[in-house]
Amino acid sequence: MPALIRLIFLVLLLSCGASVSAAGNQAVKHALVLANGGYSRDALPNALRDGKLMAQTLRQLGFAVTERTDLPREEMMAVVARFTDGLPEGATALVYYAGHGMQVGGGNYLTPIDMQLTGEASVPLKAYPVRHLLERLALARSAVNILILDACRNNPFLPAGAVRYRSFNALGLAREHTPRGTLIAYSASPGQQAPEGQGKNSVYSETLARTLLEPQLEIRDIFNKVGSLVRRQSLDDQIPWYESSLTDDYYFQPPDGVTVAAGKPLQFARLGREGRKVRGETPPSLNWFNDLSVQEWDMLDWEIQQRVERLTADELPALEHKAEGGSLVHQTTLALAYREGVEKAIEPGSGKVTRYNANNSKALKWLAQAAEAGFPIAQVELGEMYFAGHGVDRNLDTARRWIEQANHVRYTRARLDLLQLDTLLSAMEAARDPYLGGVSKRAAAVPEERR
């Protein structure tokens, strides 16, 4: 009898653990997972694994999942039509796509497995328009629509590049108009590329699958967190993006006392009205670098210096494209390259590298942009330029202001710079030395651990 009881308990335990969806989400949930990877050109094996991972994750969250792989265009259209036509009133609908995609003529297209590349003019006839997918969802009876695109994000008719991305090349997807009641999530920001990934899954889909299973996160908090984690893991090389027109908060696994019901506003059984967020408010995401360790900051600083040292002039367009897309690491790297010189000559025999063709105005522009966005390495570099009068009028107060701002994280170089600068300024004030540049009397720096 005890053995039978243990067996019954184990079965109950396993059945309870099969799904993590909270009882507070009572909406009917349907998901369509599309993964195209078996292309004759530029196959994407990770896309198929990403689709499987997302399907498993969504089933754990209580979704009824329709999973399809390696679809030709006609079948993609038919599958989407059946899915949207079958959505019940008030349902939550989620569509996830992994595979090649492109932007042509300002429109976004998902690449079917049977598409033959002949020219941009034929793309609307041979690819699957994202706009068509959004229109099908908008006309469905679902109350909440979620579209997640981990796509190739490139135009295959542009010249091929050296880096293998989840697309054929160059430009990423454009921003789509978001219909009411819809959230659209992209694995990279508009105009940027999403790498295929070196591991079993893409960085974006792996991070998203893990974060979706965290309880009590509102949907926009989920995608904010995913964005921060992907930026950190990729060293700002990939910046996820989402847009939302949801008019109420939405939870896959609601907190205690919160009920998600089909076609109804959130019901807060215990929190009361004062516990609600403002409708439609998207919480600001934390900087991805705020919790880096001392060692991680040292490595990131070293990595940026190495990128500048290895940079060649023909790599500038790609670097500028990433910088314009909002990558703080690329903005800082580009600034330092312009400051040191974007061309380089190597002396025969000694191997000594001399850089030339510097552009100080561009260096200051990019450093200031990254520093004002709160990136500590850019703040330190800018502070050191003002301290040394390198390309700017020397100003010790401005130097200290930027370096002090960089001290909110565990960045060794920033702390040492601030200590040395304050020691110098204290000595100058004691000697009443009229030094070049503005100097204001100041209190000594307080170590972070004492704040």
Dump the DSSP string for 97-126.
EEE-EEEETTEEEE--TT-----GGGHHHH
In eight-state DSSP terms, residue 264 is S
Average pLDDT in the 346-352 region? 78
Residue 107 has pLDDT above 50, yes or no: yes
Residues 6+ away with beta carbon under 8 Å from 435: 396, 428
Q: How far apart are CA 136 and CA 77, in angstroms?
A: 10
Q: What is the CB neighbour count within 10 angstroms for residue 422?
A: 17
| pLDDT at residue 262, rounded to an integer | 62
| pLDDT at residue 154, rounded to an integer | 47
Q: What percent of the chain has pLDDT over 90?
A: 51
- What is residue 184's three-state secondary structure? strand
In eight-state DSSP terms, residue 201 is S
| pLDDT at residue 445, rounded to an integer | 56
Residues 67, 51: contact at Cβ < 8 Å?
Answer: yes
| pLDDT at residue 189, rounded to an integer | 79
**Nearest alpha-carbon partner for 146 in 278, 241, 244, 48:** 244
75: phi then psi, degrees, rounded to nearest 5:
-70, -35
Angle at 158 between CA 153 and CA 162, to 5 degrees: 75
Q: In which band, very low, low, confident or very high, does the pLDDT at 359 lie, cut at 50, 70 and 90?
A: very high
Predicted structure pTM score: 0.79
pLDDT tens string 366-390: 999 999 999 999 999 999 999 999 9
Q: How far apart are CA 261 and CA 266, in angstroms?
A: 7
pLDDT higher for 403 or 255?
403
pLDDT tens string 158-182: 554 433 444 434 455 656 677 788 9
Residue 15 has pLDDT above 50, yes or no: no
- Residue whose tokens read 């979704």: 63
Residues 6+ away with beta carbon under 8 Å from 396: 386, 387, 421, 425, 435, 437, 438, 439
| pLDDT at residue 106, rounded to an integer | 74
| pLDDT at residue 11, rounded to an integer | 42
pLDDT higher for 446 or 330?
330
Amino acid identity of 315?
Answer: E
Q: In which band, very low, low, confident or very high, does the pLDDT at 151 lie, cut at 50, 70 and 90?
A: confident
**Summary mean pLDDT of the chain:** 81
| pLDDT at residue 429, rounded to an integer | 79
Residues 6+ away with beta carbon under 8 Å from 121: none
Residue 86 has pLDDT above 70, yes or no: yes
Residue 59 has pLDDT above 90, yes or no: yes
109: phi then psi, degrees, rounded to nearest 5:
-135, 140
Q: Which of 19-33, 37-51, 95-109 bottoms out in mean pLDDT, i.e. has the lowest? A: 19-33
Q: How far apart are CA 242 and CA 224, in angstroms?
A: 9
**Nearest alpha-carbon partner for 114 in 76, 169, 158:** 76
pLDDT tens string 289-300: 999 999 999 999
Phi-psi category of residue 62: left, alpha or beta, with phi > 0 → left and psi -120 to 50 → alpha? left
Q: Which of 3-12, 115-124, 345-354 bottoms out in mean pLDDT, i.e. has the lowest? A: 3-12
| pLDDT at residue 344, rounded to an integer | 79
Q: What is the CB neighbour count within 10 angstroms for residue 451?
A: 7
Q: In which band, very low, low, confident or very high, does the pLDDT at 348 lie, cut at 50, 70 and 90?
A: confident
